[in-house]
Amino acid sequence: MTTSPEPASGQSPGPPAPDVDVLVVGAGITGIYQLYRAREAGFSVQLVEAGDGVGGTWYWNRYPGARFDSESYTYAFLFSRELFDEWEWQEHFAGQPEIERYLNHVVDRFDLRRHMRFGAKVTSATYDEPSGTWRVVTGDGGEVRTRVLVAATGVLSVPYFPDVPGREDFRGESYHTGLWPTTPVDFAGKRVAVIGTGSSGVQLIPVIAGEVASLTVYQRTANWCTPLNNAPIAPDEQAKLRADFDAMCETLNTSPAGFLHGAHDRATYDDPEEERLAFFEQMWNSPGFSKLISHYTDLMVDPAANAEWCEFLAGKVRGIVRDPATAEKLIPKDHRFAEKRPPFVHGYYEAFNLPDVMLVDLKETPILRVTPSGIETAEGIREFDIVVWATGFDFGTGALLRMGIRGRDGLALADDWADGPRTFLGVQTAGFPNLFFPGGPHAAAGNNPRYNGDQVDFVTETIVYVRDHGYDTVEVGREAQERWTSMVDRNASKSNFGEISYYFGTNIPGKPRKYLLNSGGRPKLFAMIAEVLQSDYAAFRMSRSSDRSTDRSTDRSTDLTGTSA
């Protein structure tokens, strides 16, 4: 990765020189880490971000109740012991304000802000073959020519609004949870509708339920919600976290899903019924994702075991929600536990016991239209002051396909991926040299920063390798890409998540039904990265500008011998 020299006077100008070695798009946790790593590796770096501040998900999703489902200290950056020691998380599962403060602290602590430009949405990124650079145009009128383009644009960063007639006609206040304004919304005494009961809706609903004049919840699909079981971090726990830092990193850096929760050692029917129920109760009272990771080992593979846990959960809902008809509507009937991403809650089911909280089941009475003053279903019209769309995101590929990316020979990424993404390791795609997208489609599932961080580490190692070997472009070969992509597609049916899940793009009309996570998980990613390094990047094609002018690129992609994928 060398910057092209200025032409000597009298010579015809060579290909345009890049302004920077690396341009990162997105100031979420992945982009911040990529900026840090690339700068530490000696590259000149800039970062552009569509929003007006740092945080990505934690900048946009500032709705009341937004908080982690990952334990705060396991989500945090682990690259600096000093950083870990100096930031005291207040809660095991921090709320959005604390997370946003933390990410801003990191940016300032490592002097990263001066490399960042906000309010700069990338509208096009075009690869220029002769110079081996990307020309990136932003909506604020900016243009940057970069050698390497890292799109850390997130998998949950394009909010989705269902196509409901009249949505634009509503004259009250209207919000999407993923585009929440920076000035607080005043819910006091208002008639509020919340559409959607996924992870965001179920966080918001209990927080505003006691404040509003009335709350109507429009539910398309009931979810298996279980308690988050959050708590403040006590002083002795703070001390233990610090004392155990190295052991914690070891666990997080090797755990398949990037969590501290350990696997259980028993299957459901190893225990007699009484012990099973006691264990279910223990799970109900355990924190966050331990309900998946530390549950009976056969929970996700034995339908009878899963059904028994679901029956236990249904009993909990019936025990909490006083109105039996409402309780039945809140109990999923169309999917097993963890077939969709299970939300974690605090006081969600209890909210339906408040006098002015109502549930509308959209399977029985779909929304016909939004009117200027409310929402009409087959039941009639309800009038509202505020409508909140908690209707999710265009997961996985949403942001990348909206960036106007064009690679070799003008190939549009949106066309190339018309039938679904094709990647190698979820970081590169053939035909788009020097473009990387850590934290994008085909990343693993679990605690995001851990596996997105693995990908950033790999991207950084790769561009250092390219630079140190005197090349300036790198592009994965098609063979390696097809093998990785077929592994993802082939194993999709083995995933816990079913096609009902947004992880298959099912929530977006017309989107190809492709699994958008890496179904091999982190272990497959680690195995494949090891193979890439061992084979000296045999799966990649590298070139330098002098070679490109004479077509002598080093194409070693046919040499790939690995079999891990």
Ligand X SMILES: Cc1cc2nc3c(=O)[nH]c(=O)nc-3n(C[C@H](O)[C@H](O)[C@H](O)COP(=O)(O)OP(=O)(O)OC[C@H]3O[C@@H](n4cnc5c(N)ncnc54)[C@H](O)[C@@H]3O)c2cc1C
Q: Kindly list the residues in this chain that would bind ligand X in the complex (CB under 6 A).
A: 25-31, 48-51, 56-57, 59, 61, 66, 68-70, 75, 121-122, 152-154, 156-157, 178, 200, 399, 403, 439, 447-448, 452
* Closer by beta carbon to ligand X, 399 or else 539: 399
Query: Which one, of 129, 100, 173, 93, lies nearest residue 16 by Cα?
Result: 129
Residue 239 region, left (φ>0) first, then alpha (ψ -120 to 50), else beta? alpha
CB of 95 to ligand X, least distance (A): 11
Q: Round the CA-based radius of gyration of the chain to a whole number and report it.
A: 25
Complex with ligand X: residue 206 or 374, whichever CB lies closer: 206
Closest CB 511 distance from ligand X, rounded Å: 17
Q: How far is the CB of 368 from ligand X (least distance, A)?
A: 29
Q: Please state the closest distance from residue 278 (CB atom) to ligand X, in A.
A: 28
SS (H, E, C) 42-105: CCCEEEECCCCCCCCHHHHCCCCCCECCCCHHHHCCCCCHHHHHHCCCCECCCEHHHHHHHHHH
Residue indicated by tokens 């959005």:
96
CB of 25 to ligand X, least distance (A): 5
Minimal distance, residue 505 CB to ligand X, in Å = 16
Residue 537 has what DSSP assignment? S
Cβ nearer to ligand X, comparing 153 with 255:
153
Q: Which two tokens stand for residue 123?
A: 């509208």
d(CA 552, CA 167): 56
Is the dihedral angle over the CA atoms 542, 437, 422, 425 positive or is it negative?
Answer: positive
Select 25 or 299, whichever has its Cβ closest to ligand X.
Answer: 25
- The answer to whether residues 192 and 388 touch, using CB atoms and an 8 Å cutoff, is yes
Which two three-digit tokens encode residue 419?
Answer: 């039938």
- What proportions of the chain, in percent to the nearest 5, are helix, strand and coil? 35, 20, 45
Nearest distance in Å: CB 388, ligand X: 13
One-letter amino acid of 559:
D
CB of residue 37 vs ligand X: minimum separation in angstroms?
A: 13
Longest dimension (CA), the chain: 88
Residue with smaller CB distance to ligand X, 160 or 279: 160
Q: Which helix (H) or strand (E) element contains residue 306?
A: helix 303-320
Report the distance separating Cα 520 and Cα 483, nearest Å.
12
Residue 460 φ/ψ region, left for φ over 0, alpha for ψ in the -120 to 50 degree band, beta for the rest: alpha
> Nearer to ligand X by C-beta: 92 or 483?
92
Cβ closer to ligand X: 64 or 431? 64
> Measured from the CB atom, is 178 or 420 closer to ligand X?
178
The residue (of 30 and 519) whose beta carbon lies closer to ligand X is 30
Nearest to 525 by CA among 447, 444, 450, 446: 444
What is the closest distance, in whole angstroms, from the C-beta atom of residue 348 to ligand X in the complex?
Answer: 15
Q: How far is the CB of 427 from ligand X (least distance, A)?
A: 12
Nearer to ligand X, 252 or 313 (CB): 252
